[in-house]
Structure 1
């Protein structure tokens, strides 16, 4: 019996850039397509309910063995697996190691790869450098939300935190919200605010006013759109009274909000309710204490009987028309997201297809024939 050769494409970061991994407009469109497929159910992730964020390896504070890594800030390994249907019809995994101490070595905090596999045979089809896949797919989600949840006449955008993810979030928001002309920035490190402000001034001439603030309240008070992308241990607090009527609050990170506001007066939208439910099998309650984000905060409120599940909308159901989007210009909408491997698979596959067309990357051979067969 003869066996076919198995080849796959290796794409380094330069090849990924040439193939368009930093094209935010297309990334927003692809992520919108992902939410559409998720609302229809044409996807599978890990875990008992097929909606797990991923599998995490963390380390003990005092390892018993001399070579075992010791627990530290952002020190972990993670595998995030998914199948995505539709035109993608591909399985894949984002695998990464993270360690904040990497920054002292001149390395990114996290180093990521994406592997794509044939959904039928399981054979690898691509291995990709994925730091940019992850940064752009993360940044694209606030823009997807803004298409359906922000007021069309939004002009003022507030950015709380000024790191790399804040940059990509702003790129997607500016792509969707064509009337933005003012950006307010706050970061605990003024130099980070200055760096992000310089990027916006250089690349977005339609933004006439870029302002740097020294406190969160002043940053968000007049904003039509608020995006929070902090990464520190101390969560920023935003009071309901600081948020103007009609605001769209995008949360790729977590914040402290008044419980009464969340339960009774805010419109709550999340990326995938079933992903937060999956954490019930992996974490101990209260879930927001173990993993603080809007989705786990809402999960706790529902399980404690303080909030009805029906008051929480999935973005995919809004995109497919199962649920109404923004209902009026006065609604204060908060959109929480936790990151999902279907994003990485979709954006990684899109760039793989473009790389093939452009004849980029290095073709590697797995085998001429399987040795044991």
Structure 2
């Protein structure tokens, strides 16, 4: 039987991605919830020896004899994030991640991302897509999945540190998971970004009764029901990372921490539940990063792991979100529980949401069809 060797795939620009539903946060939270169940049951693969690696990062030296080689300035990186996800997804893919904080001076996002989705049988491309919104929404959706299982159902007040893209998508996910939210506190570095954030929140979520700026991390945390730390900055010195102090926290608060974060000894204590979005991800990081890991990677989950390595925390005290979502471990057990969840970011999240958006695009005839070949010159 003769089979066609022709390979076509679609290109999805950022406007195409929007038309195909990439900004549909409720659907994204549902998709991430399904992904976590597959994660817990092992129906996935990522890079690294334990199949849980965040990705492969190109590092640059502090001093180079080559004048055109990039310098290791904050957020200066190139990274490939590959993976495979089973279940109803059944696809593989890789996100290419280029980042430079100086992009903002050019009017560009800090990170410029592309994603390629591939067929798992042949390895042929299915889609090449703009991935900034893909990545932003899947990242924000993880706090939403966490809040669905770990926040109080009557949560009303959200505290957001960082009025950027991640601060927006995290709030969108909180609103999805906690429909009674009516108050938002936001802290940022500049008044312009704070004003833009408040304007966006009022326009996007008119049901919110009060949205106002605060000036300290303490104000972000105090009297909040759900909190997200979403600010960016330089790594290397954890004492400069945004901090959470135990004395600021009200009973019942849920923290989602997808960016730089630190906490005091009180938060390290046993009365704060500590949840990882994927335990294997942090185990992979601990083999890839010279200790203490939190100095190189500012996620609170790496501080959890450092405390384990130092014998100050028992590893059994670290819980896995996938296990909770799969129903194999309890979610919130009381209105008084304080829970902090680290959000690390995984290629399988991109694959899950990219697959949904790709299928939407095919169903709606969105995107530009591109031809790889009719017949390969070499085979």
TM-score by length of 2: 0.95
Q: CA deviation at 1:3?
A: 5.2
Summarize the alignment of residues 154-303 of structure 1 with structure 2, pairs less than 5 Å apart: 154-233=155-234, 234-303=240-309
Separation of aligned partners in 2, 1:310 and 1:280: 17
* Maintained 8 Å contact 1:3/1:370: no
The SS at the match of 1:185 is: strand
Aligned to 2:237: none
The SS at the match of 1:285 is: coil
1:168-225 Cα deviation digits (max 9, x unpaired): 1101101110111111111122222221111112221221111211222223211111
Unaligned 5+ residue runs, structure 1?
none
Separation of aligned partners in 2, 1:14 and 1:188: 30
Unaligned 5+ residue runs, structure 2?
235-239
Separation of aligned partners in 2, 1:275 and 1:246: 27
Q: CA deviation at 1:102?
A: 1.5
Aligned with residue 355 of structure 1, among 354, 361, 369: 361
1:9-31 Cα deviation digits (max 9, x unpaired): 11111111110111111011101
The SS at the match of 1:214 is: coil
How many residue pairs match? The answer is 373
* Maintained 8 Å contact 2:74/2:233: no
Mark the CA change 1:181 to 1:141 in structure 2 (over 3 Å): closer, same or farther.
Answer: same
Separation of aligned partners in 1, 2:108 and 2:259: 22
* Maintained 8 Å contact 2:275/2:319: yes
Aligned to 1:366: 372
The SS at the match of 1:264 is: coil
Q: CA deviation at 1:2?
A: 6.2
Say whether 1:308 aligns with 2:314.
yes
Aligned to 2:23: 22
Summarize the alignment of residues 122-161 of structure 1 with structure 2, pairs less than 5 Å apart: 122-161=123-162
The SS at the match of 2:263 is: coil
1:74-111 Cα deviation digits (max 9, x unpaired): 11100001100001100100002111121222221111
Say whether 1:85 aligns with 2:86.
yes
* Maintained 8 Å contact 1:263/1:306: no
Summarize the alignment of residues 64-103 of structure 1 with structure 2, pairs less than 5 Å apart: 64-103=65-104
Q: Which moved more, 1:133-142 or 1:262-271?
A: 262-271
Separation of aligned partners in 2, 1:254 and 1:108: 18
Mark the CA change 1:164 to 1:2 in structure 2 (over 3 Å): closer, same or farther.
Answer: closer
Separation of aligned partners in 2, 1:68 and 1:215: 38
The SS at the match of 1:79 is: strand
Q: CA deviation at 1:62?
A: 2.4
How big is the alpha-carbon RMSD for the aligned residues of Structure 1 and Structure 2? 1.3
Separation of aligned partners in 2, 1:269 and 1:96: 26
* Maintained 8 Å contact 2:262/2:300: no
Aligned to 2:7: 6
Separation of aligned partners in 2, 1:57 and 1:17: 30
Q: Which moved more, 1:214-223 or 1:11-20?
A: 214-223
Separation of aligned partners in 2, 1:229 and 1:133: 17
